[in-house]
Amino acid sequence: MAEEFRYQQLENWLLQGLQGERWRLGERLPSIRSLCQDQGLSKATVQHALQRLEAQGWLEARPKAGYFVAARPANANPPTSRARIDSPRPVTVSELLLDIMGRSAAFDLLPDLAAGELPPGIEALNRAIGRALRRQRGEGHQYYDKPEGNLALREQLAIHQGRRGWQVAPDQLCVTSGCQHALFLALMATCERGDVVAVESPGFYGVLQLLQQLGLQAVEVPSSPDSGMDMDALEAVLERWQVRAVIASPAFSTPSGALMPLDNKQRLLALADRHDLVVIEDDIYADTALGPAPDPLKALDTDDRVILCGSLSKSLSRDLRVGWISGARWHARILHLKLVTQLASSRYLQQGLAEFMADGYYAAHVRRQRQQLRANRDQLLAALNGWPADVRASVPQGGLSVWVELPEHVDTLAAYPRGLEEGVVITPGPLFSVSGQFGHCLRISYAHPWTADRVRALGKLPALLL
Amino acid sequence: MAEEFRYQQLENWLLQGLQGERWRLGERLPSIRSLCQDQGLSKATVQHALQRLEAQGWLEARPKAGYFVAARPANANPPTSRARIDSPRPVTVSELLLDIMGRSAAFDLLPDLAAGELPPGIEALNRAIGRALRRQRGEGHQYYDKPEGNLALREQLAIHQGRRGWQVAPDQLCVTSGCQHALFLALMATCERGDVVAVESPGFYGVLQLLQQLGLQAVEVPSSPDSGMDMDALEAVLERWQVRAVIASPAFSTPSGALMPLDNKQRLLALADRHDLVVIEDDIYADTALGPAPDPLKALDTDDRVILCGSLSKSLSRDLRVGWISGARWHARILHLKLVTQLASSRYLQQGLAEFMADGYYAAHVRRQRQQLRANRDQLLAALNGWPADVRASVPQGGLSVWVELPEHVDTLAAYPRGLEEGVVITPGPLFSVSGQFGHCLRISYAHPWTADRVRALGKLPALLL
């Protein structure tokens, strides 16, 4: 039996035990040694299965103590709201939603820039940028960088992607001012005013605003907290309307943190091929995975039609303003658009960042942050567990937020101004759709540590909302 | 007699003397004290007149020695080519021109990033950014900055503009990723695909590329090295075609360094008012003035229709990627476009820059650089003086380049690849137009010091071109 099947067999057996509560929350699983003996498997095979279950959030590894059943408190109670499929339409975003979007970009119930500690990763990053600045000699400041960006940085980004199973050459990457800038370049390079773009619903509001500004039409495709964009629904949409592009976040789409399974990815690419679609992959959350980062959709792209957009904003620093794009068959046009709309990115900043990555600080930062994010998520899910029983919540394995579904009568949009009065910024569900759906849903972020103040803010939500 | 008329009278008298060679090149003018006595004027009035002549390039102030007649070697021989007025047309930029534009963005005959000394201004800037980085505490890196940018920086920019006679509130300024980004936001906020935009001819190729990418049509308005865009020509264009916007650089338009006189500015605004135009002011060269920076057109804008776009790229560092926009009646839309296409700019970078400006380092840098640019310009003009008599050159009082007109038969585009073979990057005239004009012209930059290598590169040009 191939190694592949051995670990899958063990994984399935363990999964059944976890679902059937043979091992309960917080309980320790049998040791690796005893699993090896009982199942007649190698240590590597057993570890592989355990790590996969850890990545899925079932288990938590504690150094020198073994694997424990992790908190999945709301898992039996996932959100069930499903988006309607409406005709493609131009996007109009109301002033209220714009205001909320502006304030909610921080992802934080209680924005506080001064609180918390500077993580060691950011300290190392700042030192590296400072060194690059001090090394500056001659007349480098008198020249613009090339539009594609610093080669050393693109090499580091390519190495980083290679670890996820996507082999990319540095010349297929272009540095951008963050992921939103990359999404903008992707849409501008491939779509004409009036074109129809398929988006996840609920999905990222920044994409909806881009569609509005570029005069594109949106068609919303239902997306589930478990597996992301629904491929049956996408297929129905593609058969009914002429769609130019589809934008999806296979690795932890916001707001729910959904992870697209491999067979859905393959189906998406097959549909894209059949309907000659541009596929824009918003990969910004990949490095927020609670386990190993999943392979990008782009790694399966044999037809050169997936434009990957990524950034360090969610995994390292929102203030760095560095992202990237790999533009597939449209790459040359994207490079030119970056040149024309912005000329270049700062060379010394890229040099500092490249050194930070080459020295291994970024990988170490992502590892440390993973532990923190898991703890943040679990604390949020535990708190939501104390809410009334008809509250449903996604259990993300990555991303930075939980999608919460409240009873149908709740109006989260109406609760928004009441929240502001109490100093709490909520992110109402209708932000994540162009058609006013999800009025009884909201996104709650776990990007920030649950300080006493944030715990208090979270504690105010049931009274505010229910 | 009002103070205003006294200094003008003296200025005119001195100007006649300079034009009539009463005082010759390099000669010292009468002292301030003797001018006061002879003309019966106050010291302040005499100084004001002398400074104005200095700003126009007639005089050079030498500390403790007085005012000397400055080199204006090619002044009697300005370029005379005048652009044709063609119908508005979509912009198409050939691959060859794109290649040249990419290489020529450095503004340098002989690009060499390692040569030269790091100016003290850049050292101070890097120290200030480094301090801002080291001061970073808490979770600031977890939040995006506001789209309009850091308030401390906008306050410094407002103070800086106030010194030029443009009183602007910080909330009328939005920080951008350079001037090209500002021009892009201005066009995207005000024009629809197919709209006609009037541009200077010869004019900035970056604008032409933006028009192409946004699907806008260009109509070229002849621009002279002396006074910039020709107002008679603009008026004729506006009467014949429906124009949506006009883009001009009143303060030292590239390639010639033309400075638009006050009455032309007033006429431009009157025309804009009559034809309901958007006026986009490309102000990037203001701080490269060889004298005091001229007032912006925006300072005269009583009708809230001038969008000013500026940057520190030409006066401080191209690698900083910081510019600004003041969007007049379209400012809210521009802010939103910046948010949607890029979210924000880096907060710590802006903080460092704000401190650098508040500490007076920027003003000092501009003063030092002015001396250097004047010397660079004079050396270039002196070299051009040694070229055959039928070579004509602009004598800019600001900007970073001289516009050179060669005999009609010369083909600068054909000379470009020959130059590359010899390691010399020239900037052929057809780059500065959408209609293939100016084949016998080229732009030569004086942004960089004339090192021995650059002098040799410049020395190769006559053989290459003539």
Q: What are phi and psi of B309, to 5 degrees?
A: -120, 125
- Residue in chain B lying closest to A447 (CA): B142
Non-local (6+) Cβ contacts of B223 within 8 A are: B83, B200, B201, B202, B203, B229, B230, B253, B256, B258
What pLDDT is recorded for position B4?
57
Other Cβ atoms less than 10 A from the Cβ of B46: the count is: 24
What pLDDT is recorded for position B6?
81
DSSP designation for A108:
-
CATH class of this structure's domain A120-361: alpha beta
Interface test with B, best of A133, A142, A184 (most B CBs within 10 A): A142
What pLDDT is recorded for position B443?
94
CB contact under 8 A, A116 and B136: no
**What is d(CA B234, CA B236) in angstroms, rounded to the nearest whole number?**
5
Q: Which pLDDT tens digit goes with each residue over A418-460?
A: 998 988 888 999 999 988 899 999 999 999 889 999 999 999 9
Please determine, for residue A131, whether its predicted confidence score (pLDDT) is greater than 70. Answer: yes
Q: Which pLDDT tens digit goes with each residue over A58-78?
A: 788 777 788 888 765 445 577
The dihedral sign for the CA sequence B169, B174, B179, B183: negative
CATH class of this structure's domain B3-69: mainly alpha
Which positions in chain B touch A348 (Cβ < 8 Å)?
319
CB contact under 8 A, A180 and B343: yes
**What is d(CA B98, CA B351) in angstroms, rounded to the nearest whole number?**
35
**What is d(CA B223, CA B226) in angstroms, rounded to the nearest whole number?**
9
Residues 384-423 of A with CB under 8 A from B: none
What pLDDT is recorded for position A55?
64
> What is the identity of the amino acid at B97?
L
User: Is A140 at the interface with chain B, CB within 8 A?
Assistant: yes
> Long-range contact list for B168-172, CB < 8 A, 24+ apart?
B168/B298, B168/B326, B172/B326, B172/B327, B172/B331
Burial of A76 (0-12, 13-18, 19+ CB in 10 A): exposed
In order of A141, A341, B179, B305, the CA distances from B320 in angstroms are 8, 16, 12, 29
Please report, for chain A, the start and end positions of each structural domain, with discontinuous segments joined by +.
Answer: 3-69, 96-118+372-465, 120-361
**What is d(CA A138, CA A363) in angstroms, rounded to the nearest whole number?**
32
What secondary structure does DSSP assign to B335-394, as a single string? HHHHHHHH----HHHHHHHHHHHHTTHHHHHHHHHHHHHHHHHHHHHHHHHTS-TT-EE-
Please determine, for residue B264, whether its predicted confidence score (pLDDT) is greater than 50. Answer: yes
Please determine, for residue B110, whether its predicted confidence score (pLDDT) is greater than 80. Answer: no
Fold of B127-361: Aspartate Aminotransferase; domain 2 (3.40.640)
**What is d(CA A11, CA A14) in angstroms, rounded to the nearest whole number?**
5
Percent of chain B past pLDDT 70, that is, above it, reads 95
Q: Which pLDDT tens digit goes with each residue over B400-438?
A: 999 999 999 999 999 998 998 988 888 999 999 988 899
What pLDDT is recorded for position A410?
95
Lowest-confidence pick of A190-199, A282-291, B101-110, B350-359: B101-110
**What totals of helices (H) and strands (E) does chain A contain, helices first?**
15, 17
| Helical spans, DSSP H, in B218-307 | 231-240, 262-274
For residues B435-464, give the mean pLDDT. 92
What pLDDT is recorded for position A167?
93
For residue B6, the number of C-alpha atoms closer than 13 Å in the C-beta half-sphere is: 15
CATH for B96-118+364-465 is 3.90.1150.10
Q: How confident is the model at residue A300 (pLDDT cuts 50, 70, 90)?
A: very high
Residues 253-282 of B with CB under 8 A from A: none
Which positions in chain A touch B332 (Cβ < 8 Å)?
none
* CA B277 from centroid of its chain's CA atoms: 22
Q: How confident is the model at residue A83 (pLDDT cuts 50, 70, 90)?
A: confident
Q: Which residues of A160-185 are buried (b: 16+ CB within 10 A; e: fewer)?
A: bbeebebebebebbbbbbbbbbbbbb
For residues B99-118, give the mean pLDDT. 71
Q: Which pLDDT tens digit goes with each residue over A138-158?
A: 777 777 788 899 999 999 999
User: Is B135 at the interface with chain A, CB within 8 A?
Assistant: no
For residues A151-166, give the mean pLDDT. 92
Residue A368 near residue A414 (C-beta atoms within 8 A):
no
In order of A420, A465, B309, the CA distances from B334 in angstroms are 26, 35, 12
Residue B216 near residue B193 (C-beta atoms within 8 A):
yes
Non-local (6+) Cβ contacts of B438 within 8 A are: B81, B83, B202, B429, B430, B432
CB contact under 8 A, B321 and A105: no
* DSSP strand pairing (B306-311 vs B89-90): unpaired
Q: Which pLDDT tens digit goes with each residue over B54-96?
A: 766 678 877 778 888 876 544 557 787 787 888 888 887 777 7
Burial of B197 (0-12, 13-18, 19+ CB in 10 A): buried
Residue A305, both tokens: 């039609």
User: Is A344 at the interface with chain B, CB within 8 A?
Assistant: yes
CA angle, A50 then A54 then A57, to 5°: 145
**What is d(CA B81, CA B230) in angstroms, rounded to the nearest whole number?**
13
CB contact under 8 A, A134 and B142: no
User: Which of the residue ranges A20-24, A128-132, A392-396, B241-245 has the most confident prediction, judged by mean pLDDT?
Assistant: B241-245
Q: Which residues of B279-296 are buried (b: 16+ CB within 10 A; e: fewer)?
A: bbbbbbbbbbbbbebbbb
**What is d(CA A64, CA A214) in angstroms, rounded to the nearest whole number?**
54
What pLDDT is recorded for position B293?
87
For residues A219-234, give the mean pLDDT. 95
Residue B296, both tokens: 């912006």
Helix (H, G, I), strand (E, B) or coil at B411: coil
Fold of A96-118+372-465: Aspartate Aminotransferase, domain 1 (3.90.1150)
Name the residue among B343, B447, B448 with its Cβ closest to that of A105.
B343
